[in-house]
Chains A and B, each alone.
Chain A
Amino acid sequence: MANQIVEKFKNKKALSRLKSQDKEAFIEAYDENVDDIHRFVYFKIGSKEEANDLTSMIFLKTWNHIQTNSLEDSKTLRALLYKIARNTIIDYYRETSNKITASLDDEDNKIEVIDEKIDPQTRIDQEADLERIKSKLPLLKEEYREVIIMRFINDLTLEEIADISGKKIGNIRVLIHRALSALKTLVEADNKATDNKANDKL
């Protein structure tokens, strides 16, 4: 219970400081959340450059929202950032009429597995696995991709995801289960296709 009170105190303090137009509070909020928000946007829209622009917009919108609105409904700053991020992405989709269908095959954002204990071949295999998963994410339904990013990549709790999406925790659990199944099906199908290609070549 003490931990909960401390967490709640920190959250309330952060929001109150931002409401009071505290510059330091903004810097702290930015440093703590920019990686997660940028990653969330990137996996949703697929382009790093666009993700940079949208992330800037999200932080500015959050600042303005805090100044002009009561914060009674906001539990945490993080939840508020994600809600604004979701809305900003929806606006982006509307403006561009372009939902991502291509894979996230971005040369500038290649995944590197840095583990000195494993041998080079294993490292290459792991990197290939990760690239495969990364490429399959855009093929998922919008809500499946969203919960996977929030839960397994950005480590949000079920309560946070429920708060951000406006759904019940039970529904979120079901959604996560279905999303994982769908992604697994895509990845396994891709593995099989890759193996078949290799066998055909031989």
Chain B
Amino acid sequence: MSDKDLIAKLNKLKTITPDLGWKVSNRELLLSQISNSGAHELSAWEVFVINLGSLAKAITRPVYALGVFALVLISGSLFSHQIFKDAKPNDSLYIARIISEQARINTVINPEERNKLAVQFVTERAKEISTVLANPEFNNEANQDQVAKLNTSLNQEINNVKSRISYLNVKKDSEKNTEDGTVLATGTDIVTIASELKDEAGIELLNKTEENEPALNVIATTSPVKATSDLEEGVASLTEVASSTEVVNSLSGPDVAIEEVEKLLENKNYNEAANKLKEIGEMIK
């Protein structure tokens, strides 16, 4: 006999029940006994109070309370940004705004979108700090301590923006499509392309790399070069573009702009820095 058979047979013993006549008479007997001790029918109000109390006891378990708490926390973090978004640096609610922004960033799953959102928030904060520092009523001898603190915060925010923009640029570079023959190359890549062309065509090129020259993005067409004349034209166009300081591709726009911001802040040109930060925010969107 297997366990399953045995259990099935045990289940059948459920058919053993007390005699119906006894059940009924016993119920009446018990009712009369408890009535003597005060049993009665409850009023509607008593039933209502009992139902309310029972419901409260049913839901006040730690796990349910934790669930409610988590719900309040998540909805608060999602919607509190709306409440605190107008809080300015030096306001008492400013820290609440930073926390709500961070919570909102954490709810974004896509890393690139998360970084973009973070850059927008940080850029906005840096812009506001610059605006506050540009205000002569605040930025004076009496508030030197607070000014110093805000300057430190501003530097931190600028560094934050730079590192996030770098991350976004790295991500964009890795997604470049070269299948159609269109190549986005940095300034140093121009030298590589030119070298390859030199190897193929035996053409001598000038390598121009000056120090502190900003990285240039150029668009170079590398359609198959069959004839020597095509190759000479290709090399000529590469050399022409490489010598230009004009920035063609907007991916490096925030990069350059943030460096300009740093220079403006060194010169304590807070208004211009705030405008430039606003532009960066627009570029990232």
Contact surface of A with B, Cβ cutoff 8 Å: 1, 5-6, 8-9, 12-13, 16-17, 20-24, 26-27, 30-31, 34-35, 38-39, 42-43, 48, 51-52, 55-56, 59-60, 63-64, 67, 109, 111-113, 126, 129-130, 133-134, 148, 152-155, 180, 183-184, 187-188, 191
**Nearest-CB distance from B241 to chain A (Å)?**
65
Contact of B54 among A9, A26, A38 (CB under 8 A): A9
Per-residue contact bits, chain B 39-63, to A (CB 8 Å; 1 contact, 0 not) = 1111000110011011101110100
A192 and B54 alpha carbons, distance in the complex (Å): 55
A12 and B50 alpha carbons, distance in the complex (Å): 9
User: Total A-B pairs in contact (CB under 8 Å)?
Assistant: 127
A134 and B15 alpha carbons, distance in the complex (Å): 12
Contacts of B6 in A (CB 8 A): 133, 180, 183-184, 187
**Nearest-CB distance from A118 to chain B (Å)?**
13
B10:A12 contact, CB within 8 angstroms = no
Question: With A20-B42, A148-B10, A187-B1 given, is the CB distance from A60 to B18 under 8 Å?
Answer: no
Q: Does B212 contact A (CB under 8 A)?
A: no
A22 and B49 alpha carbons, distance in the complex (Å): 13
A26:B39 contact, CB within 8 angstroms = yes
Question: With A21-B38, A187-B1 given, is the CB distance from A180 to B18 under 8 Å?
Answer: no
Tell me what chain B mostly uses at the interface: helix, strand, loop, or mixed. Answer: helix
Contacts of B51 in A (CB 8 A): 13
A130 and B16 alpha carbons, distance in the complex (Å): 11
Stretch at the interface among B22-30, B72-80, B118-126, B182-190: B22-30
B13:A153 contact, CB within 8 angstroms = yes
B14:A39 contact, CB within 8 angstroms = yes
B58:A55 contact, CB within 8 angstroms = no
Contacts of B18 in A (CB 8 A): 34-35, 38-39, 48, 51-52, 55
A57 and B232 alpha carbons, distance in the complex (Å): 111
A183 and B1 alpha carbons, distance in the complex (Å): 11
A130:B22 contact, CB within 8 angstroms = no
Question: With A22-B39, A60-B33 given, is the CB distance from A152 to B50 under 8 Å?
Answer: no
B34:A23 contact, CB within 8 angstroms = yes
**Nearest-CB distance from A15 to chain B (Å)?**
8
